[in-house]
């Protein structure tokens, strides 16, 4: 490289106006476009190829700055490095760095958006958003997700770990999922600080010991017949929904959302689609004669068997619970009748029906994954007499469903 001549001056650069190239020396040129705009370029030859690299417009880059940038380019060339390649690599690195500054809140929103379609209801997504907004966002929501560490996670969880244990446990799992998503998306690296095993279990108490799992209060199976007689005497769509929930051993949500097009009265089967099942798998339910009678006497005033007050809606989540409370049975829950059914299977009919038949009636997945892989049927034919026997037991006081 020869000595830099510096042919241009700030005054000359300002005066020049004719389109063309004006050299300053050692590869630095002032370019004036046809429209009159001025910019700097650096021309060089590398590996026998002539290249031209833009250094910026005159409005932002002065002559002195242009000379400094040209000097940096010449230094790279002296080392056999291409200035254009080096600049592009630096821009890519900066862009990646900025991407990694994505905040936890931004990652949470992206995670929820990506999974919203696979969740069963808008309520589920709302629960995610609310818990994160209430607890996580105030502490580290605005921080880069790569900066979220175990200290920050504990700062969120510790205040509610003992007092709102169930909420805290769910929140921990949500934070863990979002951080896993951020890692896979290359917004962070390293271990997940919200992981329980090997991490938070060493800093927070066992949630099962703080707030032991409490089963849904259930009616003793020996009392179900007299209870059904009292229930049958009550009027209203919600009472009938509770009745069908008991006869079919279904979950409240499955009953409340029951649609007429799911039910084949002639074949005596109710098919709940996978989208409405907790396990995400279609569930066929044998309908006893009592259940068929109940359904036949329900008015068909829309798509749903148990419509809500507004057209096109279903009964609210609390409507079935309200029936129990009005009966003076606030000590039990609708979900608890599933336990009542299971206890009856185990204690009343003994070995008359195999364990897996009873579990399939509750739409439970087999705990043994190997066994489940080979047993793909739903044991429907074996469940037909089981559900009829259960309905007959519920009906032994002599009432006829609706």
Q: Rg of the Cα trace of the chain?
A: 35
- What does the domain layout of the chain look like in residue ranges? 10-99, 104-210, 221-394
Spatial CA neighbour of 42 closest among 58, 59, 25: 25
Identify the helix (H) or strand (E) that includes residue 369: helix 369-374
Q: What is the pLDDT along the chain (402 residues), one digit of tens a residue?
A: 445 567 899 999 999 999 999 999 999 999 999 989 999 999 999 888 999 999 999 999 999 999 999 999 999 999 999 999 999 888 877 766 666 678 999 999 999 999 988 876 777 888 999 999 999 999 999 999 989 999 999 999 999 999 899 899 999 999 999 999 999 988 888 899 999 998 899 999 888 887 655 556 789 999 999 999 999 999 999 999 999 999 999 999 999 999 999 999 999 999 999 888 887 889 999 999 999 999 999 998 889 999 988 878 899 888 999 999 999 998 899 999 999 999 999 888 877 888 889 999 998 865 555 444 435 578 999 999 999 999 999 987 654 444
Sheet containing 49-57: which strands, arranged edge to edge? 20-25, 28-32, 38-46, 49-57
Distances (CA, A) of 351 to 237, 285, 355, 378, 393: 36, 21, 8, 19, 16
Q: Which residues contact 14 (CB under 8 A, 6 or more apart)?
A: none
CA–CA dist 162, 24 (Å, integer): 73
Q: Which residues contact 207 (CB under 8 A, 6 or more apart)?
A: 161, 165, 168, 169
285 neighbors 250 (Cβ within 8 angstroms): yes
Was domain 10-99 assigned CATH 3.40.50.2300? no
CA–CA dist 71, 62 (Å, integer): 14
Instruction: Break the chain down into helix, strand, coil percent, rounded to 5.
Output: 50, 10, 35
Give the model confidence (pLDDT) of 140-153 as tens digits.
999 999 899 999 99
CA–CA dist 387, 377 (Å, integer): 17
Residue reference for tokens 């009856």: 344
Identify the helix (H) or strand (E) that includes residue 283: strand 283-286
CA–CA dist 385, 289 (Å, integer): 11
Instruction: Report the topology of domain 104-210.
Output: DNA polymerase; domain 1 (1.10.150)
Give the model confidence (pLDDT) of 74-110 as tens digits.
999 999 999 999 998 888 777 666 666 789 999 999 9
Which pLDDT does position 95 carry in this prediction? 64
305 neighbors 263 (Cβ within 8 angstroms): yes
CA–CA dist 253, 245 (Å, integer): 10
In this structure, which long-range contacts are made by residues 105-113, counting pairs with CB atoms below 8 Å and at least 24 apart in sequence? Answer: 105/132, 105/137, 105/141, 105/142, 106/145, 107/145, 107/178, 107/179, 107/181, 107/182, 107/185, 107/187, 108/132, 108/136, 108/137, 108/141, 108/178, 110/181, 110/185, 111/177, 111/178, 111/181
Q: CATH: 1.10.443.10, 3.30.2320.50, 3.60.21.10, 1.20.272.10. Which one for 221-394?
A: 1.10.443.10
Whole-model pTM: value is 0.55
Return left, alpha or beta for 398; rule: phi > 0 is left, psi -120 to 50 is alpha, else beta.
left
Return left, alpha or beta for 271; rule: phi > 0 is left, psi -120 to 50 is alpha, else beta.
beta
């Amino acid at each position: 490289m020869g000595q830099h001549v510096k042919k241009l001056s700030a005054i000359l650069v300002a005066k020049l106006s004719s389109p063309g190239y004006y050299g300053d020396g050692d590869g630095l040129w002032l370019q004036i476009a046809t429209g009159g705009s001025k910019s700097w370029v650096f021309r060089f030859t590398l590996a026998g190829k002539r290249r031209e690299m833009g250094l910026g417009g005159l409005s932002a880059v002065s002559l002195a700055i242009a000379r400094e940038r040209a000097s940096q380019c010449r230094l790279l060339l002296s080392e056999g490095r291409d200035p254009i390649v080096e600049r592009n690599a630096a821009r890519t690195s900066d862009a990646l760095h900025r991407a990694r500054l994505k905040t936890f809140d931004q990652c949470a929103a992206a995670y929820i958006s990506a999974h919203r379609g696979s969740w069963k209801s808008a309520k589920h997504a709302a629960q995610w958003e609310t818990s994160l907004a209430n607890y996580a966002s105030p502490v580290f929501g605005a921080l880069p997700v790569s900066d979220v560490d175990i200290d920050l996670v504990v700062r969120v969880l510790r205040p509610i770990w003992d007092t709102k244990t169930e909420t805290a446990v769910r929140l921990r799992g949500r934070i863990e999922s979002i951080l896993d998503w951020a890692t896979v998306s290359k917004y962070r690296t390293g271990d997940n600080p919200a992981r329980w095993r090997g991490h938070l279990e060493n800093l927070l108490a066992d949630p099962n010991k703080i707030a032991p799992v409490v089963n849904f209060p259930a009616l003793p199976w020996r009392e179900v017949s007299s209870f059904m007689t009292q229930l049958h005497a009550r009027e209203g769509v919600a009472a009938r929904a509770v009745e069908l929930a008991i006869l079919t051993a279904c979950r409240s949500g499955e009953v409340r959302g029951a649609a007429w097009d799911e039910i084949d009265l002639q074949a005596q089967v109710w098919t709940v689609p996978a989208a409405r099942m907790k396990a995400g798998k279609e569930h066929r339910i044998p309908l006893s004669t009592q259940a068929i009678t109940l359904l036949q006497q329900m008015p068909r005033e829309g798509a749903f068997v148990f419509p809500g007050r507004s057209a096109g809606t279903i009964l609210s989540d609390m409507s079935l619970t309200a029936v129990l409370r009005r009966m003076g049975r606030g000590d039990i829950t609708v979900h608890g009748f599933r336990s009542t059914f299971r206890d009856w299977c185990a204690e009343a009919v003994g070995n008359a029906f195999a364990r897996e038949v009873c579990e399939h009636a509750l739409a439970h997945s087999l705990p043994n994954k190997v066994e489940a892989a080979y047993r793909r049927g739903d044991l429907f034919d074996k469940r037909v007499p089981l559900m009829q026997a259960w309905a007959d037991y519920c009906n032994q006081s002599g009432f006829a469903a609706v």
